[in-house]
Amino acid sequence: MQIHSVYSLKNGVQVRKERFGLLFYNYAGPRLYFVPTQDLISNDFFEGKQQVKELVDHIEANHPWPRQWIEDRIGQVLQILEQKGLIYGQSVC
């Protein structure tokens, strides 16, 4: 993960916000993927407009956690979603 990247959904993938976090649907299957992120990541984040840095800034401003810990957790989630073929990242720098 690069801090100045933006992330978008792959073709055929949809996502929506749920009480537990994010629910991904993949046309190519397996169909459903549950991501228990609570309210840390909005589904709008995957529209490819908000940089990871902005997301981390936002979480840091609203929670008492160390910045490095937030970066690591967000990085893990994004890495798994990329490996599952649900999202792709693009560097904006």
Partner 1 sequence: MGNQYVDMGLSAPVNVTWEVTFKCNLSCIHCLSDSGKKRKGELDTDQCRKVIDELAAMKVFQFNIGGGEPFMRRDFLDLMDYAHEKGMVTCISTNGTLITEEVAKRLDKNLVYIQVSLDGATPQSNDAIRGKGSFSNVVKALEHLKKRNIEVSINTVLTRLSFPELDKMVELASAYGAKLRVSRFRPSGRGMDSWSDLNVNKNQMLDFSQWLSRHLKVSTGDSFFSVTTEERKSLGLNMCGACKLTCCISPKGEIYPCAFLQHDDFYAGKLPGNDFKTIWETSPVFESFRRLEIKSCESCHRFDLCHGGCPAIAYHTQRKLGVPDPGCLANCVKIKSPTIVAEGA
Q: Which is nearer to partner 1, 56 or 81 (CB)?
A: 81
Between CA 90 and CA 3 the distance in angstroms is 11
Q: First vs last Cα of the chain: how many Å apart?
A: 13
β 13-18/5-9 pair status: unpaired
**Pattern of binders to partner 1 over 13-52, x per CB under 8 A?**
-x-xxxxx--x-x-x---xx-x-x----------------
Q: How far is the CB of 57 from partner 1 (least distance, A)?
A: 27
Cβ 24 to partner 1 shortest distance, Å: 9
Q: Does 85 bind partner 1 (CB under 8 A)?
A: no
Helix pair 52-62, 67-83: axis angle to 10 deg: 130
Q: How far, in Å, CA of 20 to CA of 60, rounded?
A: 20
In the complex, which residues of this chain contact partner 1 (CB under 8 A)? 11-12, 14, 16-20, 23, 25, 27, 31-32, 34, 36
